[in-house]
Amino acid sequence: MKRQLGPSTAFFPIPAALIVSKDGDKVNVLTVSWIGIVSETPPMVGISLRRDRYSLELIRKTKEFTVNIPSANLYRETDYCGLVSGRNRDKLRDLNFTMLESRKISTPIIKECPYNMECVVKQEILLGEWVLILAEIVETHLDEDKINPSNRANIEISKVVNPLVYCAEVREYWSLGEKLGNGFSSGKEIIQRAGKK
């Protein structure tokens, strides 16, 4: 049996990301959990922001932003960035975050976040009180100590990054659990079984 719950935004877990936007010398950071990869070719990310967000104003001016994935130990700082408006506070100063120059855009990345993406806005879609921003990922960064000797991202990147995830329905931050299997291979056992029938 299943019980109908009605329309809901429950979807879990979802990443908790820090979005950095910039206009001149003013740099702001905002917590976003409405985020996801939407295309591989070209590599694109989608983020949804409320229409009244200060970060949206900055992103619209520059047509760029960075996505910074915090480790689970930064859950307090991440929560703070979602509670306070950049119109009223300098959140980066409050948190002592270190800004590093991006390679392909002018908006900086957060050093304390182990994984970062530089993004250029390609399209906006209005969704009621929200704006979906679709952006091309033009560069990515990963902490040096999380790269293996072959200069590839560590096979257990989620384990070494320990990304923060958010469960919106219960308003809780979590870290990820253990690895269960490999994509594009774990399901092959079922394919083999089905082929024998």
Domain annotation covers residue 51: yes
Q: Output the pTM of the full model.
A: 0.86
Question: Is residue 8 within 8 Å of residue 165, measured between CB atoms?
Answer: no
Two tokens at 96?
């002592």
Question: Is residue 16 within 8 Å of residue 165, measured between CB atoms?
Answer: yes
- Strand order through the sheet with 64-69: 26-32, 17-23, 64-69, 115-127, 130-142, 44-50, 35-39
Domain annotation covers residue 9: no
Domain annotation covers residue 188: yes
Domain annotation covers residue 88: yes
Per the structure, the complete domain to which residue 167 belongs is given by 14-195
Domain annotation covers residue 1: no
CATH number reported for the structural domain that contains residue 90 in this entry: 2.30.110.10
- The number of domains in the chain is 1
Residue-wise pLDDT tens digits, 12-45? 778 899 999 999 999 999 999 899 999 999 999 9
Annotate 114-149 with DSSP letters as a single string. SEEEEEEEEEEEEETTEEEEEEEEEEEEE-GGGB-T
Residue-wise pLDDT tens digits, 92-148? 889 999 999 999 999 999 999 999 999 999 999 999 999 999 999 999 998 888 776
